Structure 1
Amino acid sequence: MSVQNDPIVVSASRRTDIPAFYMDWFMEQIGKGFFKTVNPYNGYISHIPAAPDDVHTIVFWSKNFGPFLRGRFGETLQEMGYHLFFNFTLNSSQPLLEPEMPPLGFRLDQMDELSRRFDPKMIQWRFDPICFFQTGEGMIQNNLGDFQVITNRAAQAGIFRCITSFMDDYPKIRKRINGLSLSGFTFVEVSFERKLAILLEMEKELSDRGISLFTCCEKELLEALPVHSRITKSSCIPNEVLMQLFGGELSLRKDQGQRTKQGCGCNISTDVGSYRLHPCFHNCLFCYANPAGSSLSNQSLPTRRLIS
């Protein structure tokens, strides 16, 4: 029996890609009526009630909704009485940065399919992170090349929220790059002024298609934008939006477990993923979640799912 008084928002998940790799596990826990989670910092174990009456909304995060869509997991959850919201990270085709991603065309088709099956208002597109990098050839490159293409498809799909940020070059990421022996590869930090210019260019491109731009954890950039800019702070877990979509009452308190000082606008939620138990197999070079110096294969999944 549930002891949860107020319905919660379940985040699935910042720590891994559950829709791509772990939906069988997720549905098993839903069937049990609870999730057992381990705090990644202090090891504290929590039992999270997960019956429909306990959960206001499930927020799914993914770079690859293919397995989720093929399994019709969303429809099953809705039939059980759950509300759903989606954070779809869809970046340019850049195999060096995101080596295990399906081709861009496949992912754009997923965006279309997701918006057809579910209300586009339930979908946020995350173009995240923006990366600049240098290879052995010496030329500085970035992953902005397909932004216009993705913008056009998002607009056609009826999606009107885009969230972005610039890559943070954590020591763990540098250690991973060194461990993978990528000859001559390094991430490049571009100037503050260039970042501002990029955001304004993105805003213009998006606004022409009716899409608003939000920044994730970019407080200094946000404060430096000109007064005419309508770029605002994002909430990847946007409880006010969830209440507008699905009714009910949710706390608008900020999630202090996130980077609020850097400009994170997420409201409080409960994440049910695990860095350790649910490793992500996308092998993105800029990922802060996977172990440094590692390259993971989804052959190690109990039941392998194709990623496309």
Structure 2
Amino acid sequence: MIINTGMRTDISAFYSEWFMNRIREGYVLVRNPYRQDWITRYELDPEVVDCIAFCTKNPAPMLKHIDELKRFHQYWFVTITPYGNDVEPNVPPKEQVMQDFITLFQAAGINCIGWRYDPILIDSTYTLERHISDFDTMCKTLSGYTEVCVISFIDLYEKVKWNFPQARTVTPKERIAFGKAFAEIGKRYGITIKACAEGNDLAPYGVDCNGCMTQETFETAIGCSLDIPKKKSQRAECSCVLGTDIGAYDTCGHLCKYCYANYNRENVRRNIRQHDPKSPFLVGTLCEGEVIHKAEQVSWLNNQLSFF
């Protein structure tokens, strides 16, 4: 199975101490975000965890633990965008994140790391022209350290509308302009542009629209074929293997305006206060009378070497 650490929050950036404590103790407890009384225990054991997927805007806190994590297969997506503190208040400077990306590449290898440039939004500051210019600069820096860059456009979920009321949808014409320009730039630097849950509209312009965290992505990282059970994606247009996420909503301290995982800052502050690095939960503790359900975990490795 695959354990995911980055769909609900950024564990790498804010909870690396907690995560490593979980790795050392060999298990984690997770509350179902839609049913708080349902608690699942996942074993963090390489015998059943085929890969740990990291999605982060700041891998730096985890870099010192890379050697300890090497007993697990890993895949890293690092999000690096052109936005400043006006949109991403607590994300480190892009130049630093790109250097950390290169350090991570040196430890994990090119098959185990990818770059995300998303979500793409347009306003008076972050125009189409600026995006294209900044993307070219970033590609130049990251060329040779990744073969993949995933793009997507801002989705106006209710949480996003609440926290970022001035955000607008990127039009179909603008999407095509982005896809065409980014694919051309990526080709110059040896970086394949992949679209995340955006349909196939950009395929004619050279964008790979087959998904980002796909079975092939993980098989390439692991070097082995996987027999993954059939499971519906969270969204019909998504073909990714999302795995099991051990994070919690309303806990990400980046406080990005476009975030779908935080409802508001007060919730985040409250949950951060309740975080204990020694707890098996990311937030809070086990209450009296609560029942822990042990997850059914099996390895998906079919033990046939892959030529990816």
The aligned residue for residue 152 of structure 1 is 140
- Cα gap change, 1:47/1:299 in structure 2, threshold over 3 Å: closer, same or farther? closer
CA RMSD, aligned part only? 2.4
Pick aligned residue for 2:26 from 14, 24, 33: 33
Pick aligned residue for 2:259 from 270, 281, 287: 287
Contact 1:129 1:164 in 2 (8 A): yes
Matched residue type, 1:267? V
Matched residue type, 1:285? K
The aligned residue for residue 113 of structure 2 is 123
The aligned residue for residue 76 of structure 1 is 68
What is the distance in 2 between the residues matched to 1:62 and 1:82? 18
Pick aligned residue for 1:9 from 2, 16, 20: 2
Contact 2:11 2:247 in 1 (8 A): yes
The aligned residue for residue 272 of structure 1 is 246
What is the distance in 1 between the residues matched to 2:239 and 2:212? 5
Query: Is it true that 1:92 corresponds to 2:89 in the alignment?
Result: no
What is the distance in 1 between the residues matched to 2:137 and 2:66? 26
What pairs up with 1:1-308 in 2 under 5 angstroms? 8-43=1-36, 44-69=38-63, 72-78=64-70, 81-134=71-124, 141=127, 144=131, 145-157=133-145, 159-177=146-164, 186-219=166-199, 222=200, 224-225=201-202, 227=204, 229-236=206-213, 238-253=214-229, 255-259=231-235, 261=236, 263-276=237-250, 279-292=251-264, 294=266, 296=268, 300=273
**What per-residue deviation string (whole Å, max 9, x for no partner) do you get for residues 3-36 of structure 1?**
xxxxx11111211111111111111112222121
- What displacement does 1:106 show? 0.7
The aligned residue for residue 291 of structure 2 is none
SS across alignment from 2:261: coil
Question: Structure 1: 5+ residue runs without aligned partners?
Answer: 1-7, 179-185, 304-308
What is the distance in 1 between the residues matched to 2:164 and 2:112? 35
Q: Which consecutive aligned stretches of 4+ in structure 1 deviate over 6 angstroms post-superposition?
A: none
What is the distance in 2 between the residues matched to 1:295 and 1:34? 26
- Cα gap change, 1:204/1:290 in structure 2, threshold over 3 Å: closer, same or farther? same
- Cα gap change, 1:173/1:294 in structure 2, threshold over 3 Å: closer, same or farther? farther
Matched residue type, 1:35? V
- Cα gap change, 1:92/1:45 in structure 2, threshold over 3 Å: closer, same or farther? same
Contact 1:252 1:268 in 2 (8 A): no
SS across alignment from 2:81: coil
Contact 1:14 1:271 in 2 (8 A): yes
Contact 1:126 1:164 in 2 (8 A): yes
**What per-residue deviation string (whole Å, max 9, x for no partner) do you get for residues 170-222 of structure 1?**
222222246xxxxxxx1122321121111111000001111111111111xx2
Contact 1:154 1:160 in 2 (8 A): no
- What displacement does 1:252 show? 4.0
Contact 1:101 1:282 in 2 (8 A): yes
The aligned residue for residue 306 of structure 1 is none
What is the distance in 1 between the residues matched to 2:60 and 2:126? 32
Matched residue type, 1:240? E
Question: Structure 2: 5+ residue runs without aligned partners?
Answer: 278-308
- What displacement does 1:149 show? 1.5
TM-score w.r.t. the length of structure 1 is 0.80
TM-score w.r.t. the length of structure 2 is 0.80
SS across alignment from 2:193: strand
The share of aligned pairs that are identical, in percent, is 27
- Cα gap change, 1:230/1:170 in structure 2, threshold over 3 Å: closer, same or farther? closer
- What displacement does 1:58 show? 0.7
**What per-residue deviation string (whole Å, max 9, x for no partner) do you get for residues 114-134 of structure 1?**
111220221010101001135
- What displacement does 1:233 show? 2.5
SS across alignment from 1:146: helix
SS across alignment from 1:173: helix
Matched residue type, 1:74? I
- What displacement does 1:156 show? 3.3
What is the distance in 1 between the residues matched to 2:51 and 2:170? 38
- Cα gap change, 1:275/1:296 in structure 2, threshold over 3 Å: closer, same or farther? closer
